[in-house]
Amino acid sequence: MPFDQALAAFMRYLHLAQGLSRATQQAYQRDLRDFVLRTGGETALTSAAWLTWQEADIRQYLAGLSAEAKPQTLARRLAAIKRLYKFALHQAWLSVHPAQQLQAPKRLKAIPKVLSEQNIDALLAAPDVSTALGLRDRAILELMYATGLRVSEVVSLPIAQVDLAAGLLMVVGKGNKQRIIPLGEWAQDWLSQYLARARPGLLKPGAVLDEVFVSRIGRPMTRQTLWHRIHNLAQQAGLTGTLSPHGLRHAFATHLINHGADLRSVQLLLGHSDLSTTQIYTHVAKARLKQLHQQHHPRG
């Protein structure tokens, strides 16, 4: 099976059987093309040479990559390679998995930088809510901080999955998994105002969109647009450094734990499949407590 044909079949499998997002599929595609190109050259992209490679070939590829890539990148590349060869094994294109015994380098989990509650208040107050776009941006910020939604979940959120009367929304996250999240009074109020006063004016005449949030040209917002809006609003609020939309997700989780929420509940709200992924936020909370102790205790 030539690699280009195998990759196309693998992408269909990831989409239909695994329910992976388009962004994740594209990342797999980039990583696997890089692997084949570096290991076998241009001709390998349209040949079946990849099915003849052994563990030593994959080790050599990863070793060559290690000089320029972080451990996280190496681990992601190896995961993509393993998944492709596992797929090839199930398709009976080969009989031995060449990457089965390879282990990814240990990754040190970086503790995310988290906005303080005062910083969050400043950010939420940054949009000019006297304008339609400002009201939209305030509703987005309130929603993200209240629910911990991922960027992709925000821009693709359908109106049909928001129940303002009950104060709940239903989200379809990674792996096509559904979860129910409470909105909270603040997010519920700002979202109601946006839907009633701003969204109708942002839509083009006669247009009907499923998505909650609309761009200034009357289309669904993109991830890139949302990133730029939050970055600009953070600057307006006087926040230093670069704030990504994921920073609101970090703040949501950490502030919940700081105020006594249990880890399992936070895991469910975030949509993490593994509790270990959520545990990083306990380290953030502990680091914050240590910092406060050092600043304010007479013998800190």
Quickly list DSSP for 5-53. HHHHHHHHHHHHTS---HHHHHHHHHHHHHHHHHHH-GGGGGSSGGGG-
Dihedral of alpha carbons 43, 44, 49, 55, sign: positive
Query: CA-CA distance, 220 to 64, in Å (whole number)?
Result: 42
Closest alpha carbon to 185 in 168, 170, 161 = 168
Closest alpha carbon to 147 in 260, 288, 279, 255 = 255
* Phi, psi angles (nearest 5°) of residue 229: -65, -45
Those residues of the chain that have pLDDT short of 70 are 105-113, 241-242, 273-300
Architecture of the CATH domain 117-296: Orthogonal Bundle (1.10)
Positions marked active-site? 150, 174, 246, 249, 272, 281
Query: CA-CA distance, 293 to 154, in Å (whole number)?
Result: 36
Domain boundaries along the sequence of the chain:
3-90, 117-296
Residue labelled with tokens 């990863």: 62
Reported as type and span, the H/E element at residue 166 is none
β partners of residue 181 = 169
- The pLDDT, as a whole number, for residue 275 is 62
- The pLDDT, as a whole number, for residue 178 is 84
DSSP class of residue 110 equals P
Burial 159-190 (b: 16+ CB within 10 A, else e): eebbeeeebebebbbeeeeeeebebeeebbeb
Q: What is the pLDDT of residues 75-108, one digit of tens each?
A: 889 999 999 999 999 999 999 999 988 887 665 4
Query: CA-CA distance, 98 to 168, in Å (whole number)?
Result: 47
State the Cα torsion 266-271-276-277 to the nearest 10°: -100
- The pLDDT, as a whole number, for residue 66 is 80
- The pLDDT, as a whole number, for residue 267 is 79
- The pLDDT, as a whole number, for residue 112 is 55
- The pLDDT, as a whole number, for residue 293 is 44
Distances, alpha carbon 265 to alpha carbons 9, 96, 157, 168, in Å: 38, 42, 22, 16
